[in-house]
Amino acid sequence: HVYIIDRNFNVQQFLAYDGGRVTHMKQIKQRNILVTIGEDEPVASTPIIKIWDLDKQDKSKGAPTCSRIIKVEHNKKPFPVSTFAVLENMSQIAIGLANGIVILIRGDLSRDRYIKQKIIHEDEEPVTGREENRNTILFIVTTNKVMTYNTTGRSPSIIDEQGCGLGCAIMSDTTHDMVIAKDEAIYFYTPDGRGPCFVYEGTKTSVIWFKFYLIIVSPPASQPTRLTVSTRPALSLGANNTTSPATPKSPTYELTKVTIFDTVNKFIAYVGNFSQGVRTITCEWGAVYILGMDGKLYRLEEKDTPTKLELLFKKNLYQLAINLAHSQKYDDASISEIFKKYGDHLYNSKADYDAAMAQYIRTIGQLEPSYVIRKFLDAQRIHNLVNYLQELHAHGLANADHTTLLINCYTKLKDVARLDQFIKTDNELTFDLETAIKVCRQAGYYEHAVYLAKKFEEHDLYLKIQIEDVQDYENALEYIRKLGPFEADRNLQKYGKVLLNHLAQPTTKLLIDLCTGNLFVQPPNDAETSSPTVVVPSYPQFLQFAVPTEAPILRVASPPRLSKEKTVPAYKPPSVRIFMSLFVDQPNYLIQFLEQVSEKRWGEFGVSRRSVESFENKDDDEGSHSSKEGQDNIEAEEKKAVWNTLLELYLSEAYLPPVVNMKDTKGRKNGAPGSFSVATETERVKERLVRKDKALKLLKEEEIQYDTNQALVLCHLAQFDEGIVYLYEKLRMYEDILRFYMAKDNTEKVIQALKKYGPHDQSLYPLTLTYFSSSPTTLASSTSELLQILDYIDSHNLLPPLQVVQALSRNSVATLEMVKGYMGRRIEGERKECEADRKLIASYREETEKRRKEIEELKTSARIFQVIKCTGCNSSLDLPAVHFLCRHSYHQRCLIDSDRECPQCAIQHRMIQEVRRTQEANADKHELFFEQLEESEDGFSVIADYFSKNTMAFAKLID
């Protein structure tokens, strides 16, 4: 009979073999089919295979429908079946007999179709195990060997020369490996051969596979067996944690031990002793059922994972707990918590700091790093802490504080090799760069700080270390040059003064290249960041020309193209004024800087010799007029600032090289650290003359737009006479030139200036006369010059006599004897002029009287015309004729009908009328009169002219 039991232990039975017995059976997992092997007769007979469809009931028999009956046939005497295996798809069944024969049955076994039986192995040893994996590889196990047979091949192949007893071979459901239990160990086999094994000594009677557990049934033994895989105490899977369902005091004649081994986590999960023996073990409904020889059924239930873990924690079996959590697919946070407990156990209970740190490292990403760091800081276990911090950085989870702590640990341990390995790595950056550089600087490891700053293009930090810490000014300067114009501009503003104090000449050269557009752009970097140009006060503090620049350097997207014919900068040079203050201790180099910048950027005298355009301006040809005008104004202010500063440097004695003894200058070179270069007295004098010549040349260049007033102040401060005179002349301040020479009591220069500028400004003559008569000494030394001036004034009629007398009489030094000749000539000339004026007045009166009489005549008397020729055609006058009062007569035919006045006098009359209309119109234009009055040097002459020519206009004003 076959008995079917459900979860509630309801039993259903049916007769499978009439008169015989069931020896083997297996239920197909994928389909509700039961395969049984049995005998129909009580005496040994041929085995019969029956296939039962459990879903179809035969109502007449009250049993499932038997869909197929297969008789196992072979040519020899029937032997009982020792083992069998069937594929889940019901395509193959392998039968192993006790006489060593293995029969393979192939075909559609679930249906009544043709099948084929084949003997694939025949030997003297009985078959003790037979299993098929999902790849149709048949494992054949006898008492002496283990073989594999590919059901599509020809003959079995031996993979081991040792077999096992009946019931000691089983197929693993998880890995589909063959598991064979031998006295010395448990072996796993793959189709390729023997795999891993677990040493478990003792006789085994059977093995069963449940989930990933291997259930081992062992007979009574005189010595206790042991499993070398794990010596830890076993764990019971039973609900009540009992290790034996039998009473210990009962007799142990049939004592059987059941051991359940966890093949994944490698430990014994359960050990139980059954005093009455075990009939069979089956696994169903998630539990293990053990049927004892005494008829009792025992159920072993697997504890849930949290309970297992708690038991492991109590026994401090953390490694097993970790393996168990992994096998149960616990999340990272839960597994990390186990590692933390394991680490705490090793740290607190075992004081095994190295092992504890190994566990804490495995919590990275889940456990707060400060928890671990605090423990190992307190214990002064720096080596372990270093390992943890390194792993923290390797996982990319370190913050700035972790980087600081790690580098501090390296420096405290003086472990330069590991510091090099951490810093000088080619891998991706795993730490906070700025923090690492900062800590290396603080610890004095400048080489590592410089390495990081340079590698990751932290330009600011690199220069800060090189200049402030290492004082490697040469490398810093070269680095700035390679950065391109934008970064060079920013960093030179920051470090330019320091670099000038130590490397004056190279720094000046770099500044010249930058400000003239010759510091060519390097290929741009995406990590670069731009910052605005910082405007600093100009060099001369008392000169108010420093204004913010509106033209910062423009970054470009590609390197400049260089031409052999000329070089055009690919960026707009920065303002020169920004860098003037850097030269506060290096005036000589400031002169060099400004001279070369002005020459290369604008031409020697400010005339632009090449175009300086940014890429932005090149693409904006239609820029607004106001924008261009603004740029022009900025450029003009830039030039003016340069020229003003240069002029100050040329003229100021303070900026000349100091004079020292020759022995003091030994070994010193121009440009070495220090405030100024040095020179001998001769060199100083020569340098002064050279600079004065440059200053005068600068002042006289018409293209240079310097501040004239400021230049004049500088020339006065420097007592630069040539410059003062030139600027006075440029400003047409001729009186100031004369007074300048008078202050120096230079009579010769006074006379030269008077002759040169007197024709442009008559006020110079009274001033000169006053100067000559200012003191007896001056008058005595310049009497002849005074007389020459008087003759010149007289000959050119430059001054009225009264003004000359007033000028000479201010200081009561000049005598009448000196001006007697001049006064005589002037009085005689004025007398003659007065006489001529009287005669002219008389003639005007006479003519006026004559005109009045003529007008009266025309009003009161008739005019007799005696003209005999026509005025128009000059022929004899005949009638009809036209006579005009102006005594002109014409043929009537010579006149136009519209002519009502004499054609000959009409033009003159119209001119007079036009003048009169103009005068009357101007009578209301007072601003014109006052404008002429202000512009004229002799206002009285303007008024007199108006009276003489605008009588009618003034008459109208009076009316």
The amino acid at 676: F
Q: How confident is the model at residue 839 (pLDDT cuts 50, 70, 90)?
A: very high
Q: Map 351-399 to HEC letters.
A: CCHHHHHHHHHCCCCCCCHHHHHHHHHHCCCHHHHHHHHHHHHHCCCCC
d(CA 489, CA 549): 13
Q: How confident is the model at residue 541 (pLDDT cuts 50, 70, 90)?
A: very low
Lowest mean pLDDT among 4-18, 152-166, 383-397, 620-634: 620-634
Q: Specify the DSSP element, H or E, that contains 454.
A: helix 446-455
Looking at the predicted structure, is the pLDDT value of residue 25 above 80? yes
| Residue 656 CB partners (closer than 8 Å, separation 6+) | 679, 684, 687, 688, 691
Lowest mean pLDDT among 183-187, 394-398, 660-664, 713-717: 660-664
Looking at the predicted structure, is the pLDDT value of residue 224 above 70? no
Over residues 348-381, the pLDDT tens digits come to 998 899 999 999 999 999 999 999 998 888 757 8
Looking at the predicted structure, is the pLDDT value of residue 524 above 60? no
Q: Specify the DSSP element, H or E, that contains 909.
A: helix 903-922
Pair 747, 785: CB distance under 8 Å: yes
Residue 60, classified by CB atoms within 10 Å of its CB into exposed (0-12), middle (13-18) or buried (19+), is: exposed
Looking at the predicted structure, is the pLDDT value of residue 444 above 80? yes
Pair 476, 499: CB distance under 8 Å: yes
Range with the largest mean pLDDT of 25-29, 249-253, 836-840 = 836-840
Q: List own/partner pairs for 298-307 with CB under 8 A and 24 or more apart.
A: 298/245, 298/274, 299/239, 300/237, 300/238, 300/260, 300/270, 300/272, 301/237, 301/238, 301/239, 302/211, 302/237, 303/235, 303/237, 305/330
Strands across the sheet with 63-71, in order? 21-28, 33-39, 48-58, 63-71
Residue with tokens 């004229």: 936
Pair 308, 324: CB distance under 8 Å: yes
Q: List own/partner pairs for 314-322 with CB under 8 A and 24 or more apart.
A: 315/232, 315/233, 316/345, 316/349, 317/232, 318/342, 318/345, 318/359, 320/230, 320/232, 320/265, 320/267
What is the per-residue pLDDT for 377?
A: 81
Range with the largest mean pLDDT of 300-304, 654-658, 785-789, 820-824 = 300-304
What is the per-residue pLDDT for 338?
A: 93
Pair 726, 700: CB distance under 8 Å: yes
Residue of 718 and 363 predicted with greater confidence: 363
Lowest mean pLDDT among 34-48, 62-76, 602-616, 787-801: 602-616
Q: Which of 85, 74, 27 is nearest to 55 (CA)?
A: 27
- Over range 772-783, report the average pLDDT: 74
Residue with tokens 């944690």: 241
Looking at the predicted structure, is the pLDDT value of residue 546 above 60? no
- Over range 474-487, report the average pLDDT: 90
DSSP 8-state assignment for residue 38: E
Looking at the predicted structure, is the pLDDT value of residue 57 above 70? yes
Q: Decide the pairing of beta strands 287-292 and 278-284.
A: antiparallel
Q: How confident is the model at residue 932 (pLDDT cuts 50, 70, 90)?
A: confident
- Over range 471-487, report the average pLDDT: 91
What is the per-residue pLDDT for 254?
A: 62
What is the per-residue pLDDT for 934?
A: 83
Q: Considering the entire predicted model, what is its pTM?
A: 0.54
Dihedral Cα 617, 619, 623, 628, nearest 10 deg: 20
- Over range 278-299, report the average pLDDT: 89
d(CA 186, CA 169): 10
d(CA 321, CA 306): 10
Percent of the chain exceeding pLDDT 90 equals 13
d(CA 765, CA 743): 16
What is the per-residue pLDDT for 492?
A: 92
- Over range 836-863, report the average pLDDT: 87
549: number of CA atoms within 13 Å, CB side? 22
- Coil, strand or helix at 327: helix
Over residues 667-676, the pLDDT tens digits come to 444 444 444 4
What is the per-residue pLDDT for 661?
A: 53
Residue with tokens 């193959």: 92
Lowest mean pLDDT among 11-25, 369-383, 561-575: 561-575
Task: Report DSSP letters for 710-752, one per residue.
Answer: HHHHHHHHHT-HHHHHHHHHHTT-HHHHHHHHHHTT-HHHHHH
What is the per-residue pLDDT for 679?
A: 61
Q: CA 214, 319, 389: angle at the middle one, nearest 5? A: 150
What is the per-residue pLDDT for 652?
A: 80
d(CA 117, CA 48): 13
Largest CA distance in the chain: 196
Pair 574, 515: CB distance under 8 Å: yes
d(CA 203, CA 216): 10
Other beta carbons within 10 angstroms of residue 97's beta carbon come to 23
Q: Specify the DSSP element, H or E, that contains 570.
A: none
d(CA 321, CA 327): 10
What is the per-residue pLDDT for 355?
A: 93
What is the per-residue pLDDT for 862?
A: 80
CB contact burial 904-936 (16+ within 10 A = b; e otherwise): eeeeeeeeeeeeeeebeeebeeeeebeeeeeee
| CA end-to-end span of the chain | 159
C-alpha dist (Å) from residue 514 to 197, 435, 552, 569, 600? 78, 32, 12, 10, 11
Q: How confident is the model at residue 441 (pLDDT cuts 50, 70, 90)?
A: confident
Looking at the predicted structure, is the pLDDT value of residue 665 above 60? no
What is the per-residue pLDDT for 629?
A: 64
Percent of the chain exceeding pLDDT 70 equals 81
What is the per-residue pLDDT for 938?
A: 76
Looking at the predicted structure, is the pLDDT value of residue 605 above 60? no
What is the per-residue pLDDT for 861?
A: 82
Backbone angles phi, psi at 619, to 5 degrees: -90, 0
What is the per-residue pLDDT for 939?
A: 78
Pair 653, 718: CB distance under 8 Å: yes
What is the per-residue pLDDT for 531?
A: 38
What is the per-residue pLDDT for 718?
A: 83
- Over range 57-65, report the average pLDDT: 84
Residue of 358 and 249 predicted with greater confidence: 358
What is the per-residue pLDDT for 288?
A: 92
What is the per-residue pLDDT for 368?
A: 92
Lowest mean pLDDT among 467-471, 509-513, 605-609: 605-609
Q: How confident is the model at residue 571 (pLDDT cuts 50, 70, 90)?
A: confident
The amino acid at 519: L
Domains of the chain (ranges, CATH numbers):
1-172 (2.130.10.10), 200-330 (no CATH), 761-861 (no CATH), 867-958 (no CATH)
Looking at the predicted structure, is the pLDDT value of residue 98 above 60? yes
Q: Specify the DSSP element, H or E, that contains 258.
A: strand 256-262
Looking at the predicted structure, is the pLDDT value of residue 218 above 50? yes
- Over range 253-272, report the average pLDDT: 84
Over residues 143-188, the pLDDT tens digits come to 888 888 888 777 788 888 888 888 899 988 888 889 999 988 999 9
Mean pLDDT, the chain, rounded, equals 78
Q: Which of 395, 331, 321 is nearest to 364 (CA)?
A: 395
Looking at the predicted structure, is the pLDDT value of residue 133 above 70? no
